[in-house]
Structure 1
Amino acid sequence: MDAAEFRPEDLERITAQAEEMLLRVEESRKEIDAVVGRGTGADGQVQVAAGGTGRLTELVIAPRAMRLDSGRLAEELLRAVQAAQDEVEQRVREIMAGTLGEAMPSQDALDDRFSQVLESFESSMDEQFQAIDELRRGTT
């Protein structure tokens, strides 16, 4: 877009779109903060909860689970932790898909998509600022 094609409403539209996306991202962040994934092991004697980042927030080991040998208890703990983290990951993907309007196959895909959106936004803003500068200087 050159300076002759620039209209103030273009900048207003881009700004409104950016603000809307930021609001959606903030709402998604709040949803993700509230996510809790749960996992169990040793027939329910080991219970784990993980928050939206996958970090463990709760670990309960029933006295009966302490009768297991250390290797088996470790396996059951890992199974419970992985189940809780898998549940969190799935829920976060669903939230982000709702925000971005598409299914998220992986964290790498999310990172790539975010980079693309950011590059596109920066490029668009650069063009708009360049057009504004040209208008200020009176060049076309």
Structure 2
Amino acid sequence: MQEFGDFANIDIDKLLKTADNQFARVEELQKTMADLVGRAEDEDGLVSAGFTAAGLTELELHPKAMRLSSGELSEKIKQVVRAASDDLQRQINSAMNDVFGEEDNPMRFVDDPDAALEQVRSAEAAYNRTFEDVMGELDRIRRRLDL
């Protein structure tokens, strides 16, 4: 009888427990992400904003902001909204690092698409090797059974 290689030594209980733990951590991450709010305020305190996964959820203008020209106010609003969005992104990255760890955090590929592409190529190469091994084994079985 042929051995199953490393598959014969898999601890199924440990595998299932690890998967359950990972699912619980991802569920906790989802709850955490729902509560995250990126916040920012301009240096003069005239414009403040809150940004969530749903987009801009808070925008407060101090009455003194109305003294600015429409162009100046528009620029302040855009800068504050961008800063609030960046703050939310930092919080998301931090939360995901807590769950996945820095090396396995999928968000690291947002700023480095070449690294993501390299991982895809590596996975493709591993898949191709495995596929060739399985097909070779199936061919040997077919020959042995004279099919």
Aligned to 1:26: 27
Letter of the structure 2 residue corresponding to residue 95 of structure 1: A
Distance across 1 between alignment mates of 2:51 and 2:62: 18
Higher relative contact order (CA 8 A, sep 6+): 1
Distance 1:106 1:8, change over 3 A: closer
Return the TM-score normalized by structure 1. Answer: 0.66
> Is the radius of gyration larger for structure 1 or structure 2?
2
Letter of the structure 1 residue corresponding to residue 34 of structure 2: D
Aligned to 2:38: 37
Runs of 4+ in 1 over 2 A off after TM superposition: 2-13, 103-110
- In the alignment, structure 1 segments of 5+ residues that lack a partner are 124-140
Return the TM-score normalized by structure 2. Answer: 0.63
Alignment counterpart, residue 110 of structure 2, candidates 107, 112, 117: 107
1:96 is displaced (CA, Å) by 0.6
Percent of matched pairs sharing the same residue = 32
Distance across 2 between alignment mates of 1:105 and 1:9: 30
Distance 1:109 1:31, change over 3 A: farther
Distance across 2 between alignment mates of 1:59 and 1:68: 16
**Bigger mean CA offset, 34-43 vs 85-94:** 34-43
Distance across 1 between alignment mates of 2:71 and 2:11: 63
Find the residue that maps to 1:95 and give its secondary structure: helix
Contact 1:40-1:79 within 8 A present in 2 as well? no
Contact 1:46-1:60 within 8 A present in 2 as well? yes
Find the residue that maps to 2:44 and give its secondary structure: coil
